[in-house]
Structure 1
Amino acid sequence: MTQTYRAIVHNEFGAAAVLRETERTLTEPGPGEVRVRVVVSGVNPTDWKSRTGATATSDIPADGAVPNQDGAGVVDAVGPGVTGLAAGDRVWLLLSAYQRPGSGTAQEYTVVPAERAARLPDGVGFEAGACLGVPALTAHRALTVHDGAPRRLAPGALKGLNVLVAGGAGAVGNAAIQLATWAGASVVATVSSPEKAALARAAGAGRVVNYKDADAATQIRDALPGGADVVVEVAAAHNAELDLARLRNGGTIAIYANDSGGGPLILDVRRNMVLNSRWQFILLYTVSPEALADGIAAVNAALADGGLRFGADAGVPLHRFPLSDTAAAHAAVESGAVGKVLIDVSPSAGS
């Protein structure tokens, strides 16, 4: 008997209103693939940008594209050749829809390559699993690209290093603060309001600076007297001057976005030469498989160790929507919701 399930799709690029609910027919996983019953789906800025067509990596298939890269659930079936995963395993998903527009997590079941499903550590819930993917793996990569960096974060791996996190209340910023702190670094974060400062402190930042303050550069200098070894940067063009002012000789500015209006990033060649600075650009979709595997292992270790948490007490307020309100969830992220937007896809009971 044919089994159907609920899915959110869009057949054209556009605003959140293009998203609609439909029914799809359950399909079997192919070689190297797993089928996952999605319990919670996570929404990131990359998801609404892809939905608009601005950053889409694939054309929309005839039966529609399913949004959202991140999620968590239970393996329902495994295809030929899959090892290390079995039906019943609790997993978190990453890059689900990358070059597979029908495999997004805003649906009750999805089929993905086995390497895009990572086991959830015991005791870690599905909501935490849906918060990982893009934010946590981007943060891990940003913290492991400097000169002499470890391939994989672990307790003590960043001991003695100073890390400056721009946008400390954002999803990537929060993960960077938590992971850097877990790995032993001293962390300073910048934010834009007292409310966001409280979130960055909850994440573990030792010092938080409002970058709108007239003396922000002085505050950061006082907080990092030796300069920053690593800057995790969300607004490269806007913060370039501030970053360079506090970068230690040989330091790295790891750029994963160009928020705050974007605009061109203009670099003073001589000034950067004097600092021996490194500007490292990061896009999770094209990170090497080896770096992704290291990130997955480190994120799971941090989760199991309590070094990576989610919820208001960890600086990540959670906003929940039912699957039928996926359009509203996308609109919330697009309008700048602070924290993590999650979609409850299917019940977790019995999993």
Structure 2
Amino acid sequence: MRAITYDRFGPAADVLKLDDIPAPVAAPGEVLVRLHVSGVNPSDIRARAGGRPGVTEPPFPKIIPHSDGAGVIEAVGDGVPSNRVGERVWIWNGQWQRAFGTAAEYIVLPAEQAVALPDHVSFEQGAVLGIPGLTACHAVLGGGPVEGQTVLVSGGAGTVGRLAIQVAAASGARVLSTVRGEKAAATAKAAGADEVFDYTDERLADRILETTGGRTIDRIVEVEFGKNVETNTRIISERGTIAAFGSAKDMTPVLPFYPLMFKAITIDLVLVYILSDAERRTTLANLTDLLDRYALSFQISDILPLEDCAKAHDMIAGGHRAGSVLLKI
């Protein structure tokens, strides 16, 4: 089968190559998926570049990158119902703690990691569900229903942020968002944000509280935890939650401990790769419900052929995109 592989860390163009390797075979409890699309995420770029803390060399002799994708089940292993053959599916954790991910014609993985894709959802959209979709859904709904609450989504024009706005709005919350620039503000508004704020505003906390009439925020979905912790501490409600899925601009933040403690704030660090089984089931059910209700739309920036994988990595690393970057297989 055709696959993108690498065997050492380094720049995308130097280490990623189009390879021809044997197609895998489904073992007991597994499914073989013929992939149509592979989703590319920032975490894939960090993994290929050797940017994960404490990892100094690739964990496997040969790696096929990417955790997200969508396709059709072509074969099943023992113990998996045969009627799953022909099923359209999307993938989660394709390359998490595994050598071979979705940048290939085929993947085998445990049957539960191939989730039924509704007929009205395209393979391209399905390839966005794994990391971005699950992160957005868990960050908003991981603490339970948000109906009647006020949810702030930081970075609402980003891939996860835009989906989080939709999840919160479809779940009955009042949704606020922070962005930068008029185009990003229009994106967040179109996704369902009731109010949008410029995150570079020095009076951001005041602006938010003025807009809410002094009412504090029940839940914050945060893409830059360290950079925004002071603002969030001011605007979060007592017993509120900051659900953070990133902190790239300040990776070793100093916390205002006592202001957070005296509000009894919950800090939920969202890493969808290692959700508990119960959390995974709940998040998958919530995401499937949102898809069935046609509540989510997807912003896709570029679809490139498999052989342009290095270009896709560089586009994401350089910030040259306005939505998800995908590989057509």
Q: Shorter-chain-normalised TM-score: which range?
A: over 0.9
Counterpart in the other structure of 2:297: 309
Distance 1:274 1:46, change over 3 A: same
**Matched AA of 2:32:** R
1:169-248 equivalences in 2 (<5 Å): 169-225=157-213, 226-248=215-237
Partner secondary structure for residue 187 of structure 2: helix
* CA contact 2:9–2:58 (8 Å) conserved in 1: no
**Matched AA of 1:254:** A
Distance 1:272 1:214, change over 3 A: closer
The one-character-per-residue Cα deviations of 1:27-61 (angstroms, maximum 9, x if unpaired) are 21001111101101111111101111222889443
Counterpart in the other structure of 1:269: 257
CA distance in 1, matches of 2:231, 2:177: 13
5+ residue gaps, structure 1? 151-156, 311-315, 346-351
1:87-236 equivalences in 2 (<5 Å): 87-102=85-100, 104-145=101-142, 149-150=143-144, 157-225=145-213, 226-236=215-225
- How far is 1:215 from its partner? 2.9
TM-score normalised by L of structure 2:
0.94
Identity of aligned residues (%): 39
5+ residue gaps, structure 2? none
2:299 aligned with 1:322, yes or no? Answer: no
Partner secondary structure for residue 180 of structure 1: helix
**Matched AA of 2:210:** D
Match of 1:338 among 302, 313, 322: 322
Distance 1:55 1:85, change over 3 A: farther
* CA contact 1:158–1:183 (8 Å) conserved in 2: yes
* CA contact 1:11–1:60 (8 Å) conserved in 2: no
* CA contact 1:188–1:223 (8 Å) conserved in 2: no
- How far is 1:324 from its partner? 0.8
The one-character-per-residue Cα deviations of 1:181-233 (angstroms, maximum 9, x if unpaired) are 11111110111222211111121111111111233222211333311100001
**Matched AA of 2:149:** L
Match of 1:8 among 4, 9, 13: 4
- How far is 1:307 from its partner? 0.7
* CA contact 2:7–2:58 (8 Å) conserved in 1: no
291-300 or 262-271, which moves further after superposition?
262-271
2:280 aligned with 1:297, yes or no? Answer: no
The one-character-per-residue Cα deviations of 1:133-192 (angstroms, maximum 9, x if unpaired) are 1011112221234xxx32xxxxxx321110001111111111111111111111101112
* CA contact 2:24–2:106 (8 Å) conserved in 1: no
Runs of 4+ with >4 A deviation: none
Counterpart in the other structure of 1:256: 245
**Matched AA of 1:67:** P
Partner secondary structure for residue 205 of structure 1: coil
TM-score normalised by L of structure 1:
0.88
CA distance in 2, matches of 1:127, 1:77: 22
CA distance in 2, matches of 1:288, 1:210: 35
**Matched AA of 2:181:** S
Distance 1:40 1:227, change over 3 A: same
CA distance in 2, matches of 1:75, 1:309: 25
* CA contact 1:122–1:304 (8 Å) conserved in 2: no
**Matched AA of 2:325:** V
Counterpart in the other structure of 2:33: 36
- How far is 1:83 from its partner? 3.7
CA distance in 2, matches of 1:97, 1:42: 12
Partner secondary structure for residue 262 of structure 2: helix
Counterpart in the other structure of 2:63: 65
**Matched AA of 2:47:** S
Question: How many residue pairs were aligned?
Answer: 324
CA distance in 1, matches of 2:45, 2:166: 25
CA distance in 1, matches of 2:311, 2:211: 40
RMSD: 1.6
82-91 or 198-207, which moves further after superposition?
82-91
